[in-house]
Amino acid sequence: YVGLQAVITHEAEEILRAHGLVLPGVGAFGDAMHHLEVMDLIGPIKDFAQGGRPFLGICLGMQLLATESEEFGRHRGLDLVPGSVVRLPSAKKNGERIKVPQVGWNRIVAPAGKDETFWTGTPLAGLAGGEYMYFVHSFHPNPSDPGVVLCVTEYEDFSFASGLARGNVSAFQFHPEKSGPQGLKIYQNWASMVKTSAREREHARG
Protein backbone atom coordinates (compact mmCIF):
# COMPACT_ATOMS: atom_id res chain seq x y z
CA TYR A 1 0.00 0.00 0.00
CA VAL A 2 2.86 2.42 0.75
CA GLY A 3 5.07 1.28 -2.11
CA LEU A 4 7.41 -1.13 -0.38
CA GLN A 5 8.01 -4.81 -1.10
CA ALA A 6 7.27 -6.49 2.22
CA VAL A 7 8.84 -9.86 3.02
CA ILE A 8 8.16 -11.94 6.15
CA THR A 9 11.33 -13.80 7.05
CA HIS A 10 13.35 -15.43 9.80
CA GLU A 11 16.48 -15.65 7.62
CA ALA A 12 19.39 -13.62 8.96
CA GLU A 13 20.84 -12.98 5.51
CA GLU A 14 17.55 -11.59 4.23
CA ILE A 15 17.23 -9.33 7.26
CA LEU A 16 20.72 -7.95 6.79
CA ARG A 17 20.07 -7.27 3.08
CA ALA A 18 16.86 -5.34 3.69
CA HIS A 19 16.56 -1.58 3.14
CA GLY A 20 14.31 -1.31 6.22
CA LEU A 21 13.24 -3.65 8.99
CA VAL A 22 9.95 -3.95 10.88
CA LEU A 23 9.93 -5.86 14.16
CA PRO A 24 6.24 -6.60 14.81
CA GLY A 25 4.77 -8.64 17.59
CA VAL A 26 1.76 -9.82 19.54
CA GLY A 27 2.34 -12.00 22.57
CA ALA A 28 4.59 -12.29 25.61
CA PHE A 29 8.00 -10.64 25.87
CA GLY A 30 9.87 -13.65 27.25
CA ASP A 31 8.46 -16.03 24.65
CA ALA A 32 9.32 -13.63 21.84
CA MET A 33 12.93 -13.23 23.00
CA HIS A 34 13.20 -17.01 23.37
CA HIS A 35 12.05 -17.54 19.78
CA LEU A 36 14.46 -14.88 18.48
CA GLU A 37 17.27 -16.63 20.36
CA VAL A 38 16.32 -20.08 19.06
CA MET A 39 16.24 -18.73 15.48
CA ASP A 40 19.59 -16.99 16.06
CA LEU A 41 18.09 -13.62 15.09
CA ILE A 42 19.09 -11.45 18.05
CA GLY A 43 22.51 -10.67 16.57
CA PRO A 44 21.25 -9.89 13.05
CA ILE A 45 18.44 -7.67 14.38
CA LYS A 46 20.84 -5.71 16.57
CA ASP A 47 23.38 -5.46 13.75
CA PHE A 48 20.71 -4.11 11.43
CA ALA A 49 19.46 -1.54 13.93
CA GLN A 50 22.98 -0.36 14.66
CA GLY A 51 23.78 -0.10 10.96
CA GLY A 52 21.82 3.10 10.32
CA ARG A 53 18.98 1.82 8.11
CA PRO A 54 15.37 2.55 9.11
CA PHE A 55 14.12 0.22 11.82
CA LEU A 56 10.52 0.15 13.07
CA GLY A 57 9.16 -1.65 16.14
CA ILE A 58 5.41 -2.18 16.55
CA CYS A 59 3.58 -3.13 19.79
CA LEU A 60 5.56 -6.03 21.33
CA GLY A 61 8.24 -5.21 18.74
CA MET A 62 8.61 -1.83 20.46
CA GLN A 63 8.87 -3.42 23.90
CA LEU A 64 11.55 -5.86 22.73
CA LEU A 65 13.86 -2.91 22.08
CA ALA A 66 14.13 -2.29 25.83
CA THR A 67 16.81 -3.61 28.16
CA GLU A 68 14.42 -5.80 30.12
CA SER A 69 10.76 -6.56 30.83
CA GLU A 70 8.90 -7.51 34.00
CA GLU A 71 6.20 -9.43 32.09
CA PHE A 72 5.87 -12.91 33.69
CA GLY A 73 9.22 -12.55 35.44
CA ARG A 74 12.40 -10.75 34.40
CA HIS A 75 13.51 -11.10 30.79
CA ARG A 76 16.37 -9.48 28.88
CA GLY A 77 15.50 -7.54 25.75
CA LEU A 78 17.49 -6.31 22.77
CA ASP A 79 18.74 -3.25 24.73
CA LEU A 80 18.56 -1.01 21.64
CA VAL A 81 16.60 1.64 23.55
CA PRO A 82 17.74 1.33 27.18
CA GLY A 83 14.97 1.10 29.74
CA SER A 84 12.42 -1.32 31.13
CA VAL A 85 8.99 -2.59 30.15
CA VAL A 86 6.47 -2.36 32.98
CA ARG A 87 2.80 -3.14 33.49
CA LEU A 88 0.11 -0.50 33.14
CA PRO A 89 -1.16 0.52 36.59
CA SER A 90 -4.14 -1.39 37.90
CA ALA A 91 -5.69 1.58 39.72
CA LYS A 92 -6.02 5.35 39.49
CA LYS A 93 -4.51 7.67 42.05
CA ASN A 94 -7.87 7.68 43.86
CA GLY A 95 -7.86 3.88 44.07
CA GLU A 96 -10.46 3.30 41.34
CA ARG A 97 -9.55 0.23 39.30
CA ILE A 98 -8.24 0.59 35.75
CA LYS A 99 -9.10 -1.92 33.02
CA VAL A 100 -5.95 -3.72 31.87
CA PRO A 101 -5.22 -4.46 29.06
CA GLN A 102 -5.97 -1.24 27.26
CA VAL A 103 -7.89 -2.25 24.16
CA GLY A 104 -9.20 0.39 21.79
CA TRP A 105 -8.64 3.87 20.46
CA ASN A 106 -6.60 6.48 22.30
CA ARG A 107 -4.84 9.73 21.47
CA ILE A 108 -1.16 10.40 20.84
CA VAL A 109 0.39 13.80 21.58
CA ALA A 110 3.89 15.24 21.56
CA PRO A 111 5.82 15.10 24.87
CA ALA A 112 5.34 17.93 27.35
CA GLY A 113 6.76 21.20 26.09
CA LYS A 114 6.74 20.04 22.45
CA ASP A 115 4.29 20.44 19.58
CA GLU A 116 3.78 18.61 16.27
CA THR A 117 6.87 20.26 14.73
CA PHE A 118 8.81 17.92 17.03
CA TRP A 119 7.67 15.11 14.73
CA THR A 120 9.33 16.56 11.60
CA GLY A 121 11.60 13.99 10.00
CA THR A 122 10.00 11.09 11.90
CA PRO A 123 7.24 8.62 10.96
CA LEU A 124 4.77 10.96 12.70
CA ALA A 125 5.55 13.90 10.40
CA GLY A 126 2.43 15.71 9.25
CA LEU A 127 0.14 14.22 11.89
CA ALA A 128 -1.76 16.47 14.26
CA GLY A 129 -1.46 16.10 17.99
CA GLY A 130 -4.43 14.27 19.46
CA GLU A 131 -4.86 11.79 16.60
CA TYR A 132 -6.46 8.51 17.66
CA MET A 133 -4.49 5.27 17.29
CA TYR A 134 -5.47 1.69 18.13
CA PHE A 135 -3.89 0.06 21.19
CA VAL A 136 -3.89 -3.51 22.53
CA HIS A 137 -1.47 -3.90 25.43
CA SER A 138 -0.97 -4.50 29.14
CA PHE A 139 2.65 -3.32 29.35
CA HIS A 140 4.50 -0.23 28.16
CA PRO A 141 8.12 0.89 27.78
CA ASN A 142 9.74 3.13 30.37
CA PRO A 143 12.88 4.42 28.61
CA SER A 144 15.91 5.50 30.64
CA ASP A 145 16.37 8.60 28.47
CA PRO A 146 13.22 10.76 28.26
CA GLY A 147 14.73 12.37 25.18
CA VAL A 148 13.84 9.31 23.08
CA VAL A 149 10.10 9.71 23.73
CA LEU A 150 8.39 10.64 20.45
CA CYS A 151 4.77 10.70 21.63
CA VAL A 152 2.81 10.04 24.78
CA THR A 153 -0.66 8.73 25.54
CA GLU A 154 -2.86 9.15 28.61
CA TYR A 155 -4.83 6.14 29.80
CA GLU A 156 -7.21 6.96 32.62
CA ASP A 157 -5.02 9.28 34.75
CA PHE A 158 -1.71 7.71 33.73
CA SER A 159 0.60 8.93 30.95
CA PHE A 160 3.07 6.65 29.15
CA ALA A 161 5.47 6.74 26.20
CA SER A 162 3.54 5.44 23.18
CA GLY A 163 6.25 6.21 20.63
CA LEU A 164 10.05 6.23 20.70
CA ALA A 165 12.76 7.44 18.33
CA ARG A 166 16.50 6.93 18.72
CA GLY A 167 18.54 7.64 15.63
CA ASN A 168 17.32 5.36 12.84
CA VAL A 169 15.14 3.36 15.26
CA SER A 170 11.45 4.29 15.63
CA ALA A 171 8.83 2.35 17.57
CA PHE A 172 5.17 2.57 18.56
CA GLN A 173 3.09 0.84 21.21
CA PHE A 174 -0.07 1.19 19.10
CA HIS A 175 -0.80 -0.54 15.78
CA PRO A 176 -0.57 1.94 12.86
CA GLU A 177 -1.96 -0.70 10.48
CA LYS A 178 -5.17 -0.84 12.55
CA SER A 179 -5.41 2.93 12.98
CA GLY A 180 -7.11 4.08 9.79
CA PRO A 181 -5.74 6.69 7.35
CA GLN A 182 -3.57 8.43 9.95
CA GLY A 183 -2.00 5.13 10.92
CA LEU A 184 -1.24 4.38 7.28
CA LYS A 185 0.31 7.85 7.03
CA ILE A 186 2.89 6.66 9.56
CA TYR A 187 3.83 3.78 7.25
CA GLN A 188 3.92 6.14 4.26
CA ASN A 189 6.35 8.38 6.12
CA TRP A 190 8.47 5.42 7.13
CA ALA A 191 8.45 4.11 3.55
CA SER A 192 9.80 7.48 2.38
CA MET A 193 12.57 7.19 4.97
CA VAL A 194 13.41 3.68 3.71
CA LYS A 195 13.56 4.82 0.08
CA THR A 196 15.69 7.86 0.93
CA SER A 197 18.09 5.72 2.96
CA ALA A 198 18.38 3.18 0.13
CA ARG A 199 19.14 5.93 -2.41
CA GLU A 200 21.77 7.45 -0.15
CA ARG A 201 23.46 4.11 0.44
CA GLU A 202 23.43 3.38 -3.30
CA HIS A 203 24.92 6.80 -4.04
CA ALA A 204 27.63 6.26 -1.41
CA ARG A 205 28.60 2.99 -3.13
CA GLY A 206 29.00 4.94 -6.36
Alpha carbon of 31 to those of 35, 163, 178: distances in Å?
Answer: 6, 23, 24
The residues carrying an active-site annotation are 59, 175, 177
Summarize the confidence of residues 67-92 as an average pLDDT: 95
| Angle, CA 88 vertex, CA 153 and CA 128 arms, to 5° | 10
pLDDT of residue 189: 97
pLDDT digits 0-9 by tens, 136-174? 999 999 999 999 999 999 999 999 999 999 999 999 999
Task: Say if residue 25's pLDDT is above 90.
Answer: no
pTM for the predicted model, two decimal places: 0.94
Q: Which residues contact 104 (CB under 8 A, 6 or more apart)?
A: 134, 135
